[in-house]
Amino acid sequence: MTQYTAPLRDMRFVLHDLFDAQALWARLPALAERVDADTADAILEEAAKITGQLIAPLSRNGDEQGVHFEAGQVTTPDGFREAWRTYREGGWVGLGGNPEYGGMGMPKMLAVLFEEMLYAADCSFSLYSALSAGTCLAIDAHADEALKATFLAPLYSGQWAGTMCLTEPQAGTDLGLIRTRAEPQADGSYRISGSKIFITGGEQDLTENIVHLVLARLPDAPAGPKGISLFLVPKYLVEADGSLGARNGAHCGSIEHKMGIKASATCVMNFDAATGYLVGEANRGLAAMFTMMNYERLSIGIQGLGCAEASYQSAARYACERLQSRAAAGPQVRDGIADPIIHHGDVRRMLLTMRALTEGGRAFAAYVGQQLDLSRYAEDAGERERAQRQVALLTPVAKAFFTDNGLESCVLGQQVFGGHGYIREWGQEQRVRDVRIAQIYEGTNGIQALDLLGRKVLADGGQALFAFTSEVRAFCVDAPLHRDALLEALVRLERTSQWLLEQAPRDVNLVSATAVEYLHLFGLTAYAYLWARMAAIAQRKLDEDPAFLGAKLACAEFFFQRLLPRSLALEASIQAGSASLYGMASGQF
């Protein structure tokens, strides 16, 4: 059975000490009436129970059984239906949803912490909920009032679930190649025909209805991405009174057999003249779908974070119990046959790497959540606009850096277990398999890096980037700890960004050749900023909780001494340019 205990102490530290969420919410009227520190803590406590006691125990069996497909129907593993019933009764699907339609309206700063718990407990179960939340976001932002009134409440309640139907066999990253068609009907609806692949939760037995958001082309649509529209296609049509009607022409043709997340149904969906409804404007479907995709990209980033936390917890427990050899400093357990491996330097290196990356990532996730809350709820238009620019800048970093670090942390956790990490009994090999997909779906991490460097840094001359670095520089003025190391990293990021701004117009290959290294350079600098802030708070409040805050200070020291220097190599790699990538002709590969 998978064991997981939500890191509530650290989550409260991030929410209340690092970001003073209570003060932020108090000045945002829409949130002030819904949530305060006590409410947030109560939600986190309850979330810890449901993820640790209800969902985590399903993970191992879910992986063993997987989903079953027969005659167009998908059956989820034992226990999933009962757990979903309890989960939906708690209102968890609609945690961040619009209260006008039955959502709880909680801030994103709080929701990201809950999402981390979900993914740490079980990735497969979490995905059914995550896609529904994203579906709701797109409908709420772009659909007309009739669609919102019909579909949002049962989606928020978990009675229905949502999916995102983009990819086709010939159209992955390049969505301009999609072929699914939409034919207008006299009653204002559309007939949707085509096939989509890799559809998470496209068919399942957890909910009464499934709401598919489908990208398709109208007959007179222009070619390429500018000719794509978004349609809502329910599995069952919905009557005027909200009850379910006839089965729609949306069917699961097969499911994929995957490396991991085996209890999540990944479906081929066939739409055969299925009734659909336009969401937003015709030929503006990508803009509407990106509302959902950007939410999902942050969510999938948090999948990497949750898997890393679960891996750390298992590896740390094992390292404290496993007896092998003697410590370099001499016997630590004099009456024992050997010392626990926690006393060995390389094991500590692995555990501290995992912990520093995970706790830094948790702070960064909450920081992005803070920007999302400001972009939505701030009363001042200028503040909303600034936050929106920061969200656009930071989202690809969160998705890619969290998931790259998530795989690293899961592999390190497996390594701590040695041979036991490679066999199924201990659960570590499942985490490696489950986290691997997070670097691939919702836009591969290479695509995220291209988005960051090409569209978010170079396209605006670095304005959004330098707005972020100005915030970091302002903090450095009075930073009590790690000031010099943080400033050096900040200068490195600014210097590299300026070099790219100057060189990219002269080298058409430069962006694609350096984007991944640049994203990691950005991520390390952002983590350094947040680690310096956390260390300052830990030092100031050390007497209040010496054990927890002392560990925070020690972890910050490790990050600055052993992980931040990675940025030196990244800068050197970036400034080497693109030439070495094109030294071989295509036929030589």
pLDDT of residue 18: 98
The H-or-E segment that residue 277 falls in is strand 266-279
Residue 209 resides in a domain: no
Taking the CA atoms of the chain, what radius of gyration do you get in angstroms? 24
Instruction: Place 172 in a pLDDT band, splitting at 50, 70 and 90.
Output: confident
Residue 518 resides in a domain: yes
Q: Which tens digit of pLDDT belongs to each residue from 431-484?
A: 999 999 999 999 999 999 999 999 999 999 999 999 999 999 999 999 999 999
pLDDT of residue 289: 80
Bridge-based pairing state of the strands 229-234 and 236-238: unpaired
* pLDDT (mean) for 345-372: 98
Cα–Cα distance measured from residue 507 to residue 574, given in angstroms and rounded to the nearest whole number: 13
What is the reported pTM? 0.97
DSSP letter (8 states) at residue 57: G
Cα–Cα distance measured from residue 244 to residue 239, given in angstroms and rounded to the nearest whole number: 6
Q: Is residue 345 over pLDDT 70? A: yes
Q: Which tens digit of pLDDT belongs to each residue from 209-233?
A: 999 999 999 999 999 889 999 999 9
Q: Is residue 404 over pLDDT 70? A: yes
* pLDDT (mean) for 395-416: 98
> In one letter, which amino acid is 552?
K
Residue 552 resides in a domain: yes
Joined together, the tokens standing for residue 62 give: 């879910």
Task: Give me the chain's average pLDDT, please.
Answer: 96
Joined together, the tokens standing for residue 149 give: 């009134």
Residue 416 resides in a domain: no
The H-or-E segment that residue 273 falls in is strand 266-279
Q: At what angle are helices 80-89 and 123-142 packed, to 10 degrees?
A: 40
**Number of other residues whose CB lies within 10 A of the CB of residue 106:** 21
Residue 96 resides in a domain: no
Nearest to 133 by CA among 294, 305, 373: 294
Q: Is residue 171 over pLDDT 90? A: no
Q: What residues contact residue 545 under an 8 Å CB cut-off, 6+ apart?
A: none
Q: Which tens digit of pLDDT belongs to each residue from 174-187?
A: 888 899 999 999 99
- Quote the Cα angle for 240-291-382, to 5°: 120
Three-class DSSP category at 267: strand
> In one letter, which amino acid is 427?
G
pLDDT of residue 292: 75
3-state class percentages of the chain: helix first, strand second, coil last, to nearest 5? 60, 10, 25
Q: Which tens digit of pLDDT belongs to each residue from 233-259?
A: 999 999 999 999 999 999 999 999 999
Please compute, for residue 446, the number of CA atoms within 13 A of its CA located in the half-sphere on the CB side. Answer: 4
The H-or-E segment that residue 408 falls in is helix 381-416
Residue 478 resides in a domain: yes
Nearest to 14 by CA among 289, 283, 298, 363: 363
Q: Is residue 522 over pLDDT 70? A: yes
Cα–Cα distance measured from residue 349 to residue 351, given in angstroms and rounded to the nearest whole number: 6
Cα–Cα distance measured from residue 377 to residue 30, given in angstroms and rounded to the nearest whole number: 6
Cα–Cα distance measured from residue 426 to residue 414, given in angstroms and rounded to the nearest whole number: 9
pLDDT of residue 536: 98
% of the chain at pLDDT higher than 90: 95
> Are the C-beta atoms of 58 and 122 separated by less than 8 Å?
yes
Residue 503 resides in a domain: yes
> In one letter, which amino acid is 3?
Q
pLDDT of residue 174: 86
pLDDT of residue 543: 98
> Which residue's structure tokens are 């019909």?
150
**Count: domains in the chain:** 1
Residue 126 resides in a domain: no
Q: Is residue 1 over pLDDT 70? A: no
* pLDDT (mean) for 81-94: 97
Q: What single string gives the DSSP state of each residue in 552-567?
A: HHHHHHHIIIIITTHH
Q: At what angle are helices 483-503 and 463-476 packed, to 10 degrees?
A: 160
Cα–Cα distance measured from residue 494 to residue 571, given in angstroms and rounded to the nearest whole number: 11
Distance of CA 44 to the CA centre of its chain: 18
Residues in the chain: 589
Please give the residue that has the higher pLDDT: either 336 or 577.
Answer: 577
- C-alpha distances (whole Å) from 195 to each of 4, 108, 170, 230, 242 are 38, 34, 11, 15, 28
Bridge-based pairing state of the strands 160-165 and 209-216: parallel
Active site residues: 442
Domain hosting residue 470, numbered range: 445-578
